[in-house]
Structure 1
Amino acid sequence: METSKVYYTDLRTSPTSNLLDKMERLVKRAGIEQLPLKDSFVAIKIHFGEPGNLAYLRPNYAARMANLLRNNGAKPFLTDCNTLYSGRRANAVDHLQNAMENGYNPISAQCQVIIGDGLKGTDCREIPLNGEYCAAPKIGTAIADADIIISMNHFKGHEQAGFGGALKNLGMGCASVAGKLELHSASQPKIDTESCIGCNICVKHCAHDAVHLNAGRKAEIDYAKCVGCGQCVALCQYDGAIMGDEDTS
């Protein structure tokens, strides 16, 4: 396999060159205009940001990308799939409202916003890959139907993987709710009873009612209900909830 070329730029600007100009020059240098863009549906895979959070790409970057693609004859759209965990990105109605509040709408982003796996995360396509851990990932239909996919992502810290970036944006982000459940199936958390102080935070915030406190005021997980989303691990400040030995993240 040919070694990929990686292009970088810095954040320095001048009166005649802003950050959006630099991004456009960067992707052109990387060869975006060499793609078969004319009349192609181009999915710009992006993270619309959690409600109340500011750690996401500004919509004007997406708008510049959409305009560049459209000027080359493409039909671009912004997309992401629903989340496995409960929240305002778990269904298309709330997800779109959240995207609009964070500035991703047809006016500011200058292209349509489509939730990749539909209203409840059930609209998906199985893509046979014969992978070791996942033989046929379940990908949101709008993304699977696209002719070209472009990843626009920020980097973020993650309690299991260290950092999430382009690979997570595509590998996990393009999966439907059912696909995310399958990908998390080997990463169910467990309770370290010595560290658990019975604070009840994991019980309150488990969207699937899979955690409860036992008679000894220690958390217990009902694995018949647990979907492996890792929310309890992320919330626990005392390392009472940790990822299990079979975690493949």
Structure 2
Amino acid sequence: MRPRVFFTNFRANPKKNLLEKLRTLYLRAEFDKVFDESDRVAVKMHWGEKGNTSFIPVPFVRTILDEVKKSSQNVFVTDTNTLYTGERKNAIENIRTAAHNGFTLESLGTPIIVADGLIGTDSVEVEINKDYIKRAKIAGSIFHSTGMVVISHFKGHMLFSFGGAIKNLGMGCATSAGKQVLHSDVKPSVDPESCKGDSICIRHCPVKCISLGEDKKAYIDQSRCIGCGECIVVCPHRAIPENWKTASEPLQCKTAEYALAAVSNKQGKVIYFNFLMNITADCDCCDWSDNRLAPDIGILASKDPVAIDAASIYLFNKAPISPLSVMEKHQGAVDKLKALRPKIDYTILLRHAEYIGLGSRNFELIEIN
């Protein structure tokens, strides 16, 4: 049987607001039958960097939490520390950033825990023996939870082409050491003709492997680069191009395998929400948010992470392109993600996730309005 993906659009009226539609979605997906009072439920999400404004708003998250707590009171909201520089590279800064963006115990009614501890070392090795990953380094609080709610903001991404449930699971549940394993094949380089020598990439590099040469052009020391991709994102001149060649495939395949490791001890106890709103070209890890690529589409719910991501892409491709966005020049594109980042084959992530048994791309879409 094809995995079911439930969908409600963002239309609302005086009789039913969006939060009420979200509650209906929760019940129609039969998520109220997933957890019981003995479960420790991790709610995995991304609360955004400081300066980012496109992350999922607090009221939507609070609504889901209130429904989960009808089954179990042992619920916590969580994310992990980052590999790149920014405001979330340790638990102290991470929780401060969450609060800055409105995510607190008071606003959520639920504690916030950074899943891999103070400095990203709270780790459990999970044996999966797949093609790329034999043992995955999963954040301790994720591993020790007995159930999980994965709340993902669907958007573009500079390394994967899109970010959704699989990326939220795979990259988002890895410890810092695990993230280094995932990124190890990504080695960007600078286009000297486009480089302006303004040192923005140097200031943002977490391992200080970028320097200016005598010609005032940036150079990346490949032997020290950890492949986090932050330099690609912060360069305003596009001088560090997304030219992955062979790097993209192992990155995506490893991430799918880490996603499998994150849920391997929670069979039947994981539910997924994808929010197709504020769909920007780049990740919520950026400390800015560009104009949205398409109008707000809706909310999806499923028990299958591959199906919910495949359905999200399907709905995004059906949506009109927003004017005054970076997608404006791609009017009429059949595959918007491919038009946005033509050098990245995002289907690798979905195909490998399906191949290893994480889920199925062959979904049944059930609209609830």
Question: Shorter-chain TM-score category?
Answer: over 0.9
- SS state of the match for residue 9, structure 2? coil
CA distance in 2, matches of 1:109, 1:239: 38
Counterpart of 1:123 in structure 2 is 122
Counterpart of 2:89 in structure 1 is 90
- Residue 144 (structure 1) aligned with residue 143 (structure 2): yes
Displacement of 1:158 after TM fit? 1.2
TM-score (norm 1): 0.93
- SS state of the match for residue 195, structure 2? coil
Gaps of 5+ in 1: none
- Residue 179 (structure 1) aligned with residue 178 (structure 2): yes
- SS state of the match for residue 43, structure 1? strand
Displacement of 1:98 after TM fit? 0.9
Letter in 2 for 1:122: T
* More off after superposition, 175-184 vs 55-64: 55-64
The answer to which structure, 1 or 2, has the higher relative contact order (CA under 8 A, 6+ apart) is: 2
Counterpart of 2:19 in structure 1 is 20
Structure 1 residues 1-249: aligned runs within 5 Å: 2-242=1-241, 243-248=243-248, 249=251
**Equivalent residues, number:** 248
- Give the CA RMSD over aligned residues: 1.7
Letter in 2 for 1:83: T
- SS state of the match for residue 97, structure 1? helix
Gaps of 5+ in 2: 252-369
CA distance in 2, matches of 1:134, 1:104: 33
Return the structure number with greater helix share. Answer: 2
TM-score (norm 2): 0.64
Q: Quick check: 1:46–1:79 contact (8 Å CA) kept in 2?
A: yes
CA distance in 2, matches of 1:14, 1:195: 49
Letter in 2 for 1:8: F
- SS state of the match for residue 64, structure 1? helix
CA distance in 1, matches of 2:104, 2:153: 19
Q: Quick check: 1:37–1:74 contact (8 Å CA) kept in 2?
A: no
Q: Quick check: 2:85–2:204 contact (8 Å CA) kept in 1?
A: no
Displacement of 1:109 after TM fit? 0.5
